[in-house]
A = this chain, B = another copy of it.
Amino acid sequence: MSLEKELDSVESILHKLPEKELRQVWRILYGDGVKDLEVSEKCLKLVSRYKLELVKCKFNNTPEQLRPPRLVRVALFQQKLPVPLTFPIYKVKTEMYTLAMDAVKVAAKGGAKIFCLQQAWNMPYAFCSGEKMPWSEYAEKAEDGSTTRILQSLALENNMVIISTILERDEVFEDRIWNTAVVIDNHGIVLGKQRRNHIPCLENSNEPTYYCEGNLGHPVFETEFGKIGINICYERHYPLSWFGLALNGAEIVFNPCGAIGEETELLWSVEARNAAIENGVYVCTVNRIGMEIYDHEYEDEQGNLIHHKDSGLFFGSSYVAAPDGTRSPGLSRTKNGLLIAEFDLNLCRQVKDSRGLGITRKLPKYRDILLKLTNNEFKPQVIKKHCQCTST
């Protein structure tokens, strides 16, 4: 499969429609509420210097009488591994740092205050390879590993919150590895971290053999620019995981991903957006891009092929969805790209109010179901025909 033949994006095709038809389809597929966002000349110059794709947009909502708008600009960055997987670990990391540092500069000039990187952003996404080495060596300390230290400087320098999802090595506790989002605030301080709770049990993904199941709950980080939660990659399949973050007060949920394959791509535009709608939050979902090419196939001891030389295509398409169901255009499926979106956090409460989400959730009903289920007392409520014999 060659990247040249890959579709750039659904949006690029839709734009080939006549203006009137495009408008009609766009309203139903994306919503009317998203307009172009103006950014500085300096930002645009840097975009061109670093050869980034830039998507920029501004979400709409109604002003309130008592609360002033709480506008925030977020930036999502999707980046390709620019060097072969065989390069030394420090070299791969350094190259990924460089790309991210450039993107942070662009985002800062574009006015972004929260910057989110893709999952395991400073390494190849090797959790599906089956091989432990050298990939486990990418794990590093969350609070003061080299990646966090570099981002702390960047965050402070650019007055920006940065969300950095890495493989975390817990040197204190059994040398365990976790899949961890580190939140660095705009003063360069590590505000805290979230460890992924839900780990895929997929054919040949092998992820549960690399890192532990999260033990930090569903924390929400109160930053100067809004309350944020992080739902990592596969956790987008779990309505209750999004809900846990929303209950803790998240206004924006970031969803850093490494998503691949046609089956998954089919779900991509549905799940994160649905989570925004059902929970009255903004969702920012960031995917990796590109194909990661190993220098060898990998077989298990019985000679079964565990991984091919190529990873398949990480399909990018990062986007932002608002609680009212509108969404931004996506970044491309193939290119390094930065999405800068501005929105008003007040819309979260507006949507909760207008749809009465909290009033009609009927949580006690579901508490009782979950109680029974987890106590092995659950009996499915099934209605069958009372009496077969009378039926004909």
Q: Interface of A with B (CB < 8 Å)?
A: 7, 10, 13-14, 16-18, 21, 24-25, 27-29, 31-32, 183, 185, 187, 189, 191-192, 197-203, 213, 217-222, 227, 234, 237-240, 243-244, 247-249, 262-263, 265-271, 273-274, 277-278, 324-326, 354-357, 359-367, 369-371, 373-374, 378, 380-385, 390-392
Chain B, Cβ-Cβ closest to A238: B361
Chain B, Cβ-Cβ closest to A239: B239
Q: Other than A10-B28, A187-B391, give 4 A-B pairs with Cβ distance below 8 A.
A: A200-B355, A200-B356, A217-B365, A270-B274
Known A-B contacts A201-B359, A325-B270; A382 and B7 likewise in contact (beta carbons under 8 Å) = no
Chain B neighbourhood of A218, CB < 8 A: 369, 381
| Contact A355–B202 (Cβ < 8 Å) | yes
Q: How far is the CA of A135 from the CA of B356 in the complex (A)?
A: 24
Q: Pick from B191, B274, B360: contact of A274, CB below 8 A.
A: B274
| Contact B382–A249 (Cβ < 8 Å) | yes
Known A-B contacts A7-B24, A21-B16, A324-B263; A222 and B370 likewise in contact (beta carbons under 8 Å) = no
Max chain B C-beta neighbours (<10 A), residue from A271, A385, A392: A385
| Contact A362–B249 (Cβ < 8 Å) | no
Chain B neighbourhood of A238, CB < 8 A: 278, 360-362
| Contact A13–B7 (Cβ < 8 Å) | no
| Contact A383–B191 (Cβ < 8 Å) | yes
Q: Pick from B363, B374, B383: contact of A219, CB below 8 A.
A: B383
Chain B, Cβ-Cβ closest to A274: B274
Q: Pick from B244, B391, B392: contact of A366, CB below 8 A.
A: B244
| Contact B237–A357 (Cβ < 8 Å) | yes
Chain B neighbourhood of A217, CB < 8 A: 365, 381
Known A-B contacts A16-B21, A239-B239; A197 and B365 likewise in contact (beta carbons under 8 Å) = yes
| Contact A247–B373 (Cβ < 8 Å) | yes
Q: Pick from B227, B365, B373: contact of A382, CB below 8 A.
A: B227
Q: Pick from B185, B198, B361, B367: contact of A367, CB below 8 A.
A: B367
Chain B neighbourhood of A373, CB < 8 A: 247, 363, 367
- A373: min CB distance to chain B, Å: 6
Q: Pick from B183, B237, B265: contact of A355, CB below 8 A.
A: B237
Q: How far is the CA of A17 from the CA of B362 in the complex (A)?
A: 45
